[in-house]
Each structure stands twice: as C-alpha cells, then as structure tokens.
Chains A and B, each alone.
Chain A
C-alpha cells in the first residue's frame, strides 16, 4: 500500500516535471527572437525614453553647482555657495572644452542661457570673492532667481522638465507648472491635430471601406479574388511610391487640377498637396486596405440566410441590413478602425512629404527635435507621450479584438 502511493506520487511528480521541461523547451523556441528584439528594439526605445526624465549633461559638467543648488528650495536668492561652485565649475568646464554642450542644453530650458553661460565662462577664471557681485558684473541676469531656478531644475538628474515643455507648460523658480503664453504653445496643438487627423482618417476609411468590403463579399469566388487582389495591390506597393503618386496627381500643375481646368474650372488651381488636404488624402489611401480586409473577412462569415430571415419576417431590406447585418459585421470594422487609428497616430513619412506646413503631425515634431534642434530630451518626452497612447490602444486591441485577428491580406 505504502509503496503504491509512493509510485503514484512519483508518477505525478514525473508528469509535472516533464510538463515543466516541455514548457521550458517551448519557451526556448521563443527565446532567440525575444532576446533579439529586446536588444535591437525594446531596450533602445527604453533607453531613448529614459532621456525624457533625466539628462545627466548639466550635473556631469557642473557637479558642484548641482550639489549646491540641490540644497536650495528655489525660493528667493540662491545660496552664496552656489555662486562660488558655479565659478569653479565654469572654469573647469571651459578648460576641458565641455562648456558648449552645457550651454546648448541650458538654452532649451530658457532662451538666452547659451550666450549668458558662454560669456560668463570666458571670464570666470578672473572671478574673485564676493562671487555674487562678480557674476552680476558680467550680466545682471545672474541676479534673477529664475535663472538659478532653471539651472537647478536642469542639473537635477531626475527631471520632469521635458514633460513640462512637452505639455506646453513652463516652470516658475519655485517649481510650479503654469501654461506657457499662448503664442509659444505648440505641442498640445500638435497632439490634438494628430488625434484629429487619425480620427478623421479612420472615419474616411470606414466610409469608403465598409461599402466596398460589402460589395466584394457578395460577389462570386472569381470576382471576389480578383477584387481582393486589386485591394491588396496598393497595400503591397511601396509607401513612397504611393506618396509620389499623390504628389504627381494633386500638385498645382498635376492631373487632378488639369482635369478640373479641362472640365470648366474657373481657372483657379486648387491647393491639394503640401497641406492638410494632402496628408488626409494620402493617409486615407494608404490605410484603407487595413480597414477593408478585416471588415471583409467578418462579412464572409455572416450567413446570408440571416438577413433573408429578417426580410421574411417583415423587415424592409434597410432594416434587415441595419438591425441584423450591420451589428454582426461591426467587429470587423472595429478591428480595422482601431488598427487604422493606431497606425495613423504614428504616421511620419506621408505628412513629411505631402503635409507642407499645416499637415505635420507629432511624429514630425519628434523627428525635428531629434535631428534638427537636437533637443533629445524633449523629443523623448513627446515620444513618451505618443507611445503611451499607442500602447494603451494596442493593449485594448490585443484584449478586446485579439491579436490573431491581425491578418495580412
């Protein structure tokens, strides 16, 4: 009896162990790709986003100043120790040739800081106590607590400063967030515009795509396959080719405008590209297949007998469509719509090429701060906000719609 129980237990144990081993084997299949993506994709993004909350530049180049300002609460005058610490740090940074870096960095925080720091650093080696007077003698801006407050925020290794700027706020010396003057607000407007464009493109894709999917789903097999291939062709064609096509079609001397002129336009050429109109048209064209394909595949699974039954029970064809067919196909349209919306939020290439000045989206601003203004912290903060939105929607997609619905044609 005792031995029987022992063997049973060991059998259960063995079973459990082999299950565990099999699970480990399964995980090992996924591991190479997981490791690869972590290294080449996930870590780089995490590393980039970490720049949004901390930029070590100022604390590294001006370590004593950073320490002295950390002890200050930001109210009133900075401590005298901060003046002498900054004088020391500036002399050393000037000698080591690192002053330009920190001056540029400070200029993102406050306009004019670059020249202030550069000119002070040049003469800092001649400073003698009392340092406060020496600084004020170079430039009276040093008597402004706001300047020191900015320096204090920027020298903190943990800063929300970039998020403050990314949300069009500014910080007073004692750390309160207040909205920037209206004429300096850019980013909130860009986020709103991006949301608005993504929403409008999704709506346009639905209005154009749903009826087409409905039409294709009702054809016989041969026609259906042919039409589907025609829908897939633009899907497979290079994005740059499609964008080029729209530029060729829509520009002021392009075919659309020529056609309008031919059929009795009043001679005025429409501005269809290099503005918001261009962005909307090209984005809708590029994202439309993402709406059609899932809608179509759900439509195929709706038995035609259902609407017939509704009609035989006295519904008008419209009621049968609206009350029976449409609700059943809505999950497909929702899957397509959510995907279109997610992809549209991060659109970069099309707005950059056909958007002109008015059709730029938030991604274009991130690229600007990455490559032109070199304000990487701000680019990271803007990217962090955008990515947070995309991730939330992606999680909703995965949980509500399911990733196995994600089909490519």
Chain B
C-alpha cells in the first residue's frame, strides 16, 4: 500500500518504516533464540551464558567438549539410534496409509468426506496428554507398552495428519484426466498409478513424509507414557536433561537438531518448487 503519490505527506514512509522495524523485531523474537543456542554450545565452561572469554573471542573460551560428551555417552548414542528407527518406521507406515487415504479423500465420490477428513486429522488437535494416556492403558492391555512397536504405532497415528493434509492439498491440483488418458492408452489402474499418479504427486508425498518424520523425531509425551528404558529417544533424553541436570550437552544436541531441521526445511522448500515449476501443466 506504499503509494508514491501519498509520500509527500510523509505518512507512507513513516508507516513503512514502523512496519519494517516492528517486523524485524518479531523476526528477531522468532529466530534469535535458535541462533544464540549455537555459539553457546561451544562454551568451554558449563554455563548457559557467554563468558568474558567468549565475548573477547579468546579461543580458549570455546571448546567442543559438549559435543564429545554426546559421542562418549552410550545413552545419547542409543537415543539417536532409537529415534531414527522409530521415526523411519512410523514415517513409512504413516506415508503409505496416509497417501492411500488421501487419494480416497480427494475423490468426489467419497462418502462422508468431511467427517472422515476431520477424523483422520484429529490427532493433530487432540491434546497430546489425553492421547498418550489412552494409549498407555490400551497398549498396556495388549502388551505393546514398553516396546518399540507400541511407540511406532503411536507415532504413526500422530504423523498421519501431516501426510493427509499435504497429500490432499497436492491431489486437489492433480488433473484426473491424466489417469483417464493413461487408461485410454491401455494402462491398467495399477500401472497408471505407479507410472502417472505417483511421479506427479511424489513431491507432496515426500514433504508429507518429512513432516511425519519431524513429528516423530520430536515427540516426547507418548514416549514418556509408553516407553521403558529401552525406548529412550533423543527428545526423551533432552526431557530428562532439562528436568534433572541441565548441562550444555543439551545445547550441543540442540545445535545438531537445529542443523538437522534446517536441512529438512530446505528439502521441503525445494520439493515445493519442484512441485510447482512455473507454467507447470498439472497446475490448473
């Protein structure tokens, strides 16, 4: 709304300047806490603040000791392994189940579409403590508490909404005539799915999978309720680290996780561009 012909009143310039200053302030609020963690994790002292040596950029003020703490600690290594196994398995399940469901939901002849959609997305909004408590009783009664499988199932349920949301959005811009064309050229539905539909919706599917992965990788409450000592994950380790003895090792882990999530985010952003190249024929 910055109007050139209004600028003689000075209003638009002042308004623009104020908005910009405010926007930068909010940006700092959003980003600064994450950025400050990174240098703090190289602190040579066990403090959560910058020492005078760090501020004067004295090399002896910095160290990698908190990073070597992670590598030397079998608990952290086991947690990393558990997190990866659980996240990969639940992402796979959530992606397969969620993609199938989204294909159904995207069809116009789906009965009670809105109702089922709301049901399948509900794990996103149901308070996590209620879900975890329910799972605790139920999974205990069928012997799945304190097992990897129990947590994988819980995380699949919690990751499914991300796949469903991303995939229904992707499929809403998918031209069904392409499948009809494939059929008229002699492809059976399964071939048409793998050769036509899948390559076109793959970017949306991968973004959904990455969301589900990130959700599982960050989930702690169901692990607290369902998991035993064998199911310690990275967030579970961080949780007890924050509650019991908060040490800068947590900051080193946090820094690694920030780098990891930045990579996930960049992957999703690149997929978004791949999905909608300028003038793409599938976009209507």
Contact = CB atoms under 8 A, between A and B. Distances in A.
B181 interface: no
Contacts of B268: 409
A34 B116 contact: yes
Interface in A233-261: 233-234, 236-249, 251, 253-255, 258
B280 to A, nearest CB: 17
B174 interface: no
B103 A230 contact: no
Interface in A369-386: 370-371, 376, 379-380, 383, 386
A253 B48 contact: yes
B104 A29 contact: yes
A366 B129 contact: yes
A212 B133 contact: no
B118 A403 contact: yes
Contacts of B105: 30
Interface in B9-39: 11-12, 15, 19-20, 22-23, 26-27, 29-31, 33-34, 36-37
B119 A34 contact: yes
B154 interface: yes
B29 A285 contact: yes
A227 B27 contact: yes
B269 to A, nearest CB: 6
A224 to B, nearest CB: 12
A348 B239 CA distance: 12
B3 interface: yes
A240 B261 contact: no
Given A348-B128, A406-B121, A255 B50 contact: yes
Contacts of A346: 125-130
Nearest to B116: A30
A209 B26 contact: yes
A386 to B, nearest CB: 6
Interface in A207-242: 208-209, 211-212, 214-216, 218, 225, 227, 229-234, 236-242
B246 A247 contact: yes
A285 B127 contact: no
B274 interface: no
A44 B138 contact: yes
A47 B137 contact: yes
Contact of B36 (A19, A208, A245, A348): A245
Nearest to B158: A41
Contacts of A407: 165, 169
A383 B129 contact: yes
B254 A245 contact: yes
B198 interface: no
B123 interface: yes
A374 to B, nearest CB: 12
Contact of A398 (B40, B118, B164): B118
B105 to A, nearest CB: 6
Interface string B228-271: 00000001001100110010001100100110011011101100
A392 to B, nearest CB: 11
Contacts of B29: 208, 285, 288
A245 B33 contact: yes
Interface stretch (A68-76, A133-141, A304-312): A304-312
A29 to B, nearest CB: 3
B156 A233 contact: no
B103 to A, nearest CB: 5
A367 to B, nearest CB: 5
A321 interface: yes
A285 B277 CA distance: 33
Given A37-B160, A317-B6, A249 B33 contact: yes
A408 B165 contact: yes
Of B119, B129, B157, B242, most A-chain CB atoms within 10 Å: B129
B257 A238 contact: yes
Contacts of A244: 37, 238, 242, 250-251, 254
Contacts of A347: 127
Contacts of B211: 408
A43 interface: yes
Contact of A234 (B30, B123, B238): B30
A236 B215 CA distance: 9
A59 interface: no
Given A40-B154, A234-B30, A241-B258, A408 B1 contact: no
A305 to B, nearest CB: 11
Interface residues of A, number: 101
Interface in B23-81: 23, 26-27, 29-31, 33-34, 36-37, 40, 47-50
Interface in A30-57: 30, 32-34, 36-37, 40-49, 51
Contacts of A42: 119, 122
B162 A311 contact: no
Nearest to A311: B3
Interface in B108-137: 109-111, 114, 116-131, 133-137
A24 B208 CA distance: 26
Interface in B128-186: 128-131, 133-139, 153-154, 156-157, 160, 162, 164-166, 168-169, 172
A36 B129 contact: no
A236 B254 contact: no
A27 interface: yes
Interface of A: 19, 22-23, 26-30, 32-34, 36-37, 40-49, 51, 208-209, 211-212, 214-216, 218, 225, 227, 229-234, 236-249, 251, 253-255, 258, 285, 288-289, 304, 307-308, 311, 316-317, 320-321, 325, 342-343, 345-349, 353, 363-364, 366-367, 370-371, 376, 379-380, 383, 386-387, 390, 394-395, 398, 403-404, 406-409
13 contacts: A23-B109, A26-B110, A42-B119, A48-B138, A216-B23, A218-B1, A241-B258, A244-B254, A248-B36, A343-B125, A345-B127, A370-B129, A376-B137
Interface of B: 1-3, 6, 11-12, 15, 19-20, 22-23, 26-27, 29-31, 33-34, 36-37, 40, 47-50, 93, 97-98, 100-101, 103-105, 107, 109-111, 114, 116-131, 133-139, 153-154, 156-157, 160, 162, 164-166, 168-169, 172, 211, 214, 217-218, 220-221, 225, 235, 238-239, 242-243, 246, 250-251, 254, 257-258, 261-262, 264-266, 268-269
